A and B are shown apart, each in its own frame.
Chain A
């Protein structure tokens, strides 16, 4: 019996090994089986969905400021997406908002800028970057870039590490410091709310594009926001950018923002 402990360890090790290989075998067998006998049907993109190679938005700054059209854009976005109105500014959640030129384009302001641009409100939202640093930073792929260029959040997967917030050079992301539900005045049942502890931001109205609709802010902007496919040379956005000069936020960072501001 001198070796009993050793032989026990050997046997238990071997049995653990065979057990684990068994379970691996099971998984393999079942995954192989899924292709043959799965009762789950097929998923496809809806025929009415709007599709593009590279979604982008053009902001006609002057037109947007007329009659305070930007206010409607902000309001409709936050309303349909159940964005909470947090009482403490520190915990603010916002997808789209307005700010002055010197804050939206820091480093580009100078004292000789025409007054109309100094005072005019600029709409800011997620830039849906071509090379998004938030996606690079996310440790779980909870934020990811779709093949049509939209940078999205998977709220089910987000662990709330807020690395993406540190990575975003545009301050486009908000964190749910509390459960947002009590701070939503009127819940839109067509769109989920978020839970505490996850990051959120503008989704370019992915849920509306899937139904063949334009983003909500574009729809209420009376033509001041133009949304379209920059991968298509004939699209309205491509045509406008060919004719008129547009600037982007912090283009020197290489993130490739896809919101273009006409000035």
Chain B
């Protein structure tokens, strides 16, 4: 029984070490360099409105969810009028009109990009939807 023998021990161990180093590279390379989490800057209009289409905690964490639900609803089911749980009505649109998302959160740079850049996510919304004028 040779069950305890390891073939090519040196090569295997060297390979494993290199593998572990490469895999963990981003962690030790960026150690201690973590940028502080960004603060969202609300527009005056958004501050004045006080409430969004859903509670703030939900919107912070799950806004992509609601955008997905909305796009199905608008594009496929003709339903474009949203009534929030506190009884307010909104136009279900990301980028068109005063009562759309961007109609209230008027600055893409302050509202969207801050977190997205930090989290290194690149949603393709603005490949098609027209971003507000302030960015131009």
Chain B associates with chain A: yes
The 4 closest A-B pairs by CB, nearest first: A43-B79, A192-B128, A41-B84, A39-B54
Point out residues on A near B: beta carbons under 8 Å. Answer: 1, 39-47, 49, 144, 146, 148, 152, 154-156, 179, 187-195, 206, 210
| Given A1-B3, A49-B78, A154-B76, CB of A40 within 8 Å of CB of B69 | yes
B75 touches A193 (CB 8 A): no
Contact A190 B96 (CB under 8 A): yes
Q: Contacts of B69 on A, CB cut-off 8 Å?
A: 40, 43
| CB-based contact B128/A45 at 8 Å | no
- Using a CB–CB cutoff of 8 Å, the interface residues on chain B facing chain A are 3, 53-55, 58, 65-66, 69-71, 73, 75-85, 92, 95-97, 124, 127-130, 133
Interchain CB contact (< 8 A) of B53 among A41, A44, A152, A154: A41
Closest to B88 in A: A41
What is the distance, in angstroms, from A246's C-beta to the closest C-beta of chain B? 28
Kindly list chain B residues whose C-beta atoms are within 8 Å of the C-beta of A43.
69-70, 73, 77, 79-83, 92
28 contacts between A and B (CB under 8 A): A1-B3, A39-B54, A39-B55, A40-B54, A40-B65, A40-B66, A41-B82, A41-B85, A42-B83, A43-B77, A43-B79, A43-B82, A43-B83, A46-B80, A49-B78, A49-B80, A144-B76, A148-B78, A154-B75, A154-B76, A156-B75, A179-B127, A190-B97, A191-B96, A193-B130, A194-B128, A210-B78, A210-B80
